């Protein structure tokens, strides 16, 4: 392994170590807030009618561009639709894109990482080069190519974003595995004669999962942001889908006249990123302590 890779593994290992051993054990205000926010998101995803105040697709051109008020908490958009209800309605799609893209990236990254760490030196070298090649493709370009090839829409946007985040995950996962591989308990298992497969499934993966989980929660927000960039370029979710990224992109045009159209979806994205990450770290701590 090269010096650079050693450095990266050490960074990854110490990051994991720190994430889990630095904080006190009681739930904090931040965690509770994050939990409440995520709860709201879950309800908005599966039962939007419970939290939305109006029909998100109800057009009312004469009510266009109204500022936030009692009747419309987040104001109305260019077609008179209630922005709050659209934000709620868009939760499902946006989260789906974020979670799916992250899952795709993780699964691919896991596969690559496993291959690199446990497939022997040749695989290690080969996969590292593949990861470098994928890194050399700017993520947005990859996404653009995928969409131009396969057509626009949330599905292709998800796949595109997932593919472009995979190399990043692969590298970190590989670093994780390498550091775990040289840990004492794995040494012991090997000395005791356990099979490689058993070592991987019983020792390596469970220990790698926790920091991965934390990474993934951060990745969800990131994936939504990438998908939003694709919507800005006109290649993301199709109308009238109330996807946050699309709303953010569409509302940007009216920033001077109707700031609420873009600020509130933006806050949702930022809020989701923060909430999922905070909650992820809190859960990871619990898992480690248990």
The footprint of other proteins on residues 196-225 (CB under 8 A) is 218, 221-222, 225
Site for other proteins in 239-268 (CB under 8 A): 239-240, 245, 248-250, 252-257, 262, 266
Q: Which of 56, 90, 113, 152 binds other proteins (CB under 8 A)?
A: 152
| DSSP code of residue 82 | B
Q: Which of 98, 109, 139, 280 binds other proteins (CB under 8 A)?
A: 139
Kindly state whether residue 228 participates in binding other proteins, applying the rule CB under 8 A. Answer: yes
Site for other proteins in 1-60 (CB under 8 A): 2-4, 6-8, 11, 14-15, 17-19, 22, 30, 57-59
Which residues have C-beta within 8 Å of that of residue 231, sequence separation ≥ 6? 157, 237, 243, 245, 246, 248, 249, 250
CA pair distance 161, 145, nearest whole angstrom: 11
User: Which residue number, 123 or 137, has a Cβ lying nearer to other proteins?
Assistant: 137
CA pair distance 21, 290, nearest whole angstrom: 13
Establish how many alpha carbons lie within 13 A of residue 287's alpha carbon, considering only the half-sphere containing its beta carbon.
17
User: Which residue number, 151 or 196, has a Cβ lying nearer to other proteins?
Assistant: 151
User: Which residue number, 15 or 51, has a Cβ lying nearer to other proteins?
Assistant: 15
- B/e letters for 215-250, b = 16+ CB within 10 Å, e = fewer, are bbbbbbbbbbbbbbbbbeeebbbeeebbbbbbbbbb
Kindly state whether residue 283 participates in binding other proteins, applying the rule CB under 8 A. Answer: no
| DSSP code of residue 202 | I
Kindly state whether residue 67 participates in binding other proteins, applying the rule CB under 8 A. Answer: no
Tell the smallest beta-carbon distance from residue 228 to other proteins (Å). Answer: 5
Q: Which of 43, 64, 96, 209 binds other proteins (CB under 8 A)?
A: 64
User: Which residue number, 196 or 240, has a Cβ lying nearer to other proteins?
Assistant: 240
199 C-beta neighbours (distance < 10 Å), count: 19
User: Which residue number, 120 or 138, has a Cβ lying nearer to other proteins?
Assistant: 138
Which residues have C-beta within 8 Å of that of residue 8, sequence separation ≥ 6? 171, 175
User: Which residue number, 51 or 144, has a Cβ lying nearer to other proteins?
Assistant: 144
């Amino acid at each position: 392994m090269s010096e650079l890779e050693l450095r990266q593994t050490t960074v990854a290992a110490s990051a994991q170590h720190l994430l889990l051993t630095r904080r006190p054990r009681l739930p904090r205000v931040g965690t509770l807030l994050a939990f409440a926010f995520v709860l709201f998101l879950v309800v908005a995803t599966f039962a939007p009618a419970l939290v939305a105040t109006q029909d998100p697709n109800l057009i009312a051109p004469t009510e266009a561009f109204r500022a936030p008020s009692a009747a419309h908490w987040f104001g109305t958009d260019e077609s008179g639709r209630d922005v709050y209800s659209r934000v709620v309605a868009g939760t499902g799609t946006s989260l789906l894109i974020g979670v799916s893209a992250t899952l795709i990236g993780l699964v691919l990254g896991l596969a690559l990482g496993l291959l690199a760490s446990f497939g022997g030196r040749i695989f290690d070298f080969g996969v590292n080069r593949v990861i470098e090649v994928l890194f050399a493709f700017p993520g947005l370009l990859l996404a653009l190519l995928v969409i131009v090839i396969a057509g626009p829409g949330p599905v292709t946007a998800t796949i595109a974003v997932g593919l472009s985040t995979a190399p990043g995950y692969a590298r970190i996962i590989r670093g994780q595995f390498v550091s775990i591989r040289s840990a004492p308990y794995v040494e012991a298992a090997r000395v005791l004669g356990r099979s490689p497969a058993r070592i991987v499934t019983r020792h390596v993966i469970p220990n790698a999962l926790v920091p991965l989980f934390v990474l993934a929660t951060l990745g969800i927000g990131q994936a939504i942001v990438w998908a939003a960039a694709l919507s800005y370029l006109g290649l993301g979710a199709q109308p009238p889908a109330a996807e946050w990224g699309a709303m953010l992109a569409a509302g940007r045009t009216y920033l001077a006249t109707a700031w609420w159209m873009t600020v509130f979806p933006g806050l949702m994205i930022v809020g989701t990123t923060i909430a999922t990450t905070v909650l992820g770290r809190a859960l990871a701590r619990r898992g480690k302590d248990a």
